[in-house]
């Protein structure tokens, strides 16, 4: 089916879905919680209950869907504001690798600049795919960041003219930097040179996500979960995509699954398993479909795929789950052209906010999505590599079951 035809079909479905949503809203307003308590969504099977603090039954799952989010509370306190003298020098950095990595890069830079009592220069953003460069304020709300960090770290909107980035010493740091590391390795160099440029190394992200449990501090938690916000026009874009896919998911009461799927990685070195005792670490579209069907998701379940464009290999998935979409099918053509540079941002946002997230292979994107989902209480993250059973709970990400992701150190 041509992409334009798919868009027309989606538009028709969306219009119809909006009427259904309106009816549901009216019914909910008139009949209250009785409607909610008697819902039987797609995939409804055995209801699994737990006891709350009052000894009352609370539904955790209906079929394979977890229908209540975890409640988390921030454990960090905003650092005390300090009266600072003129900063001793500048810290520069660039945002690279896609929006899912920007959070830690900004948090690192803020924490390091604060500890060194340096002025932090707002970074340029380098596109993950195009290599195109943007100002920080083109993507993120720079004024909110500066205002939120007032008294915590001194910030400059622009690099001073007399400072040449090419001549600055470049310091490579891990994605989660401890205060001890800064004191032992960066402070001596900063005192000698006066200015530094940071470059973040994400090669060991899965390891440092766990090690970071003991290295995170209140400044980093605040930056990741409060300070870094999208510009209003981009927030409006990602919100509209989220609302569209929810409207297409009426068969499951607005719930949907997001899958981080990149067909071009299959067959590459990343996905090669060399020994029989190493678990499979990459899954194709059809394998993901078979997995979701096995653990109880029904045919009318809506699925969002991070794959860029619609490939022939995705047709097999639609034989199991016909309501499978890529971003190109959900965004009007004129907006897709206008926002074509921000597709990674859309994927990251949708995967962070979906009801269920499935990583078809392990990469930094997976760990970063978990960061946001922990903060939102959306912890139904299913890793198809963990088991072979048909019980959905056997596939919960080890980040969640072991609570070994650094984000847990920021919440109670």
- pLDDT > 80? residue 35: no
At 351-410, the pLDDT tens digits run 999 999 999 988 789 999 999 999 999 999 999 988 788 899 899 999 999 988 889 888
Q: Are 243 and 254 contacting, i.e. CB atoms less than 8 angstroms apart?
A: no
- Tokens standing for residue 288: 């993901």
**Ramachandran angles phi, psi of 92, nearest 5°:** -115, 155
Coil, strand, or helix at residue 232?
helix
- Tokens standing for residue 369: 């999505």
In this prediction, residue 132 has a pLDDT band, given cuts at 50, 70 and 90, of: confident
Element (H, E) at 94: strand 90-95
In this prediction, residue 276 has a pLDDT band, given cuts at 50, 70 and 90, of: low
Sole residue written with tokens 């020098």: 89
List all residues 6 or more positions away from 17 whose beta carbon is below 8 Å from its beta carbon: 247, 248, 250
Tell me the average pLDDT of the chain. Answer: 81
Coil, strand, or helix at residue 87?
coil
pTM score, whole prediction: 0.82
- pLDDT > 80? residue 84: no
% of the chain exceeding 70 in pLDDT: 78
Q: Are 136 and 123 contacting, i.e. CB atoms less than 8 angstroms apart?
A: yes
At 305-320, the pLDDT tens digits run 999 988 888 999 999 9
Element (H, E) at 50: strand 47-51
Q: What is the DSSP letter of 91?
A: E
**Contacts of 276-281 spanning 24+ positions with Cβ under 8 A:** 279/385, 279/386, 280/385, 281/361, 281/362, 281/385
- pLDDT > 80? residue 214: no
- Tokens standing for residue 149: 């960090």
List all residues 6 or more positions away from 270 whose beta carbon is below 8 Å from its beta carbon: 281, 282, 361, 363
- Tokens standing for residue 7: 């868009």
At 47-69, the pLDDT tens digits run 554 545 544 445 587 889 988 88
Give CA–CA dist 99/348, Å, rounded.
7
Read off the pLDDT of each residue in 326-334 and give the average, rounded to a whole number.
89
Q: Are 66 and 49 contacting, i.e. CB atoms less than 8 angstroms apart?
A: no
């Amino acid at each position: 089916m041509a992409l334009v035809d798919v868009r027309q079909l989606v538009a028709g479905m969306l219009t119809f879905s909006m009427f259904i949503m309106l009816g549901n809203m009216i019914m909910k307003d008139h009949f209250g919680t009785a409607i909610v308590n008697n819902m039987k969504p797609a995939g409804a099977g055995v209801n699994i209950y737990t006891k709350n603090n009052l000894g009352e039954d609370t539904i955790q799952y209906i079929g394979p869907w977890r229908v209540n989010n975890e409640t988390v509370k921030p454990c960090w306190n905003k650092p005390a504001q300090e009266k600072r003298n003129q900063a001793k020098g500048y810290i520069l950095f660039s945002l690279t690798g896609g929006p899912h990595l920007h959070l830690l890069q900004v948090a690192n830079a803020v924490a390091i600049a604060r500890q060194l009592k340096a002025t932090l220069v707002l970074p340029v953003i380098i596109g993950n795919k195009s290599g195109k460069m943007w100002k920080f304020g083109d993507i993120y709300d720079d004024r909110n960041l500066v205002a939120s960090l007032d008294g915590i770290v001194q910030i400059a909107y622009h690099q001073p003219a007399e400072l040449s980035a090419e001549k600055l010493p470049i310091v490579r740091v891990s994605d989660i930097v401890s205060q001890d590391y800064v004191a032992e390795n960066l402070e001596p160099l900063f005192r000698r040179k006066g200015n530094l440029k940071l470059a973040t190394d994400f090669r060991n992200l899965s390891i440092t996500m766990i090690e970071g449990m003991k290295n995170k501090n209140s400044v980093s938690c605040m930056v990741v979960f409060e300070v870094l916000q999208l510009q209003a026009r981009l927030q409006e874009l990602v919100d509209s995509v989220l609302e569209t896919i929810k409207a297409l998911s009426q068969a499951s009461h607005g719930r949907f699954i997001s899958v981080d799927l990149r067909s071009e990685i299959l067959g590459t070195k990343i996905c090669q398993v060399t020994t029989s005792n190493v678990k499979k670490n990459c899954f194709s579209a059809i394998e993901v479909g078979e997995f979701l069907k096995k653990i109880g998701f029904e045919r009318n379940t809506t699925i969002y795929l991070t794959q860029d464009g619609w490939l022939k290999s995705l047709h097999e998935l639609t034989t199991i789950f016909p309501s499978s979409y890529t971003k190109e099918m959900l965004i009007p053509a004129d907006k897709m052209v206008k926002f074509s540079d921000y597709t990674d941002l859309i994927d990251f946002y949708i995967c962070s906010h979906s009801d269920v997230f499935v990583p078809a292979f392990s990469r930094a994107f997976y760990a970063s999505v978990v960061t946001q989902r922990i903060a939102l209480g959306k912890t139904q993250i299913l890793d198809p590599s963990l088991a072979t059973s048909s019980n959905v709970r056997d596939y919960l990400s080890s980040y969640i079951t072991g609570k070994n992701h650094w984000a847990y150190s920021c919440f109670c």
